Amino acid sequence: MKLNSDDESLAESKILLLYILNKVGKPISHNEFLDLVLSIVDMNYFYFQQFLLDLLEDNYINKYEQENLEIYEITEEGKNAIELTIDIIPGILKLEVDSKFKQNLETIKDKFAISAEYTPISDKSFSVRCKIIENNVTIFDLQAHAGSREQAKKIVENWNTNATEIYPKLLEALIN
């Protein structure tokens, strides 16, 4: 996607973001929204951010923080804007969005349900955080200490690939 001064092209991109957000039908995190948009259309990250800011300023979308995540949802003004301007989006693009939407949304939701990251505290000390998020609510959040970068990486990798087996065992250990 090329950004130029063509007002129709800019409007099309903003309406496309509103159209996708409206199709989600519920609040969505910034990263989920970004990944969803990029999986459906070819858009530069910086253009995405600018369009998002413009839509926020125009009160077409709301942003709030939940569980340390930026969450976006479409407003009534945004829904009205879609109804009035949906014809700006070319039919072929709308068809492409509709066909890719459901599959890509499910993939992105799964991707963001389990996450892990590590942060250096010092040269030989790392904080590791493992989370499970369901419907934008954190259902599990564990923070641990790792004595080396390699250990921190291993914990993150292990959580990201095996969280569905690790989580029930941890929960059982905590209960018993």
Q: Are residues 121 and 73 in the same domain?
A: no
Q: How far is CA 100 from CA 81, 93, 114, in A?
A: 23, 11, 23
Confirm whether pTM is higher than 0.85: no
Same domain, 36 and 102: yes
Strand partners, 143: 129
Same domain, 15 and 59: yes
User: How confident is the model over 74-102, as pLDDT tens digits?
Assistant: 999 999 999 998 888 888 888 888 877 77
Task: Give the chain's domain count.
Answer: 2
40: domain range?
Answer: 7-111
Q: What's the rounded Cα separation, in Å, for the pair 53 and 88?
A: 20
Residue 90, in any domain of the structure: yes
pLDDT digits (tens, 9 = 90+) for 32-84: 888 888 888 888 889 999 999 999 999 999 998 876 778 899 999 999 999 99
Strands (E), 20-136: 28-29, 61-66, 69-74, 114-122, 125-134
Domain assignment of residue 1, yes or no: no
Residues whose CB is less than 8 angstroms from the CB of residue 28 and which lie 6 or more positions away in sequence, other chains included: 21, 36, 71, 72, 73, 136
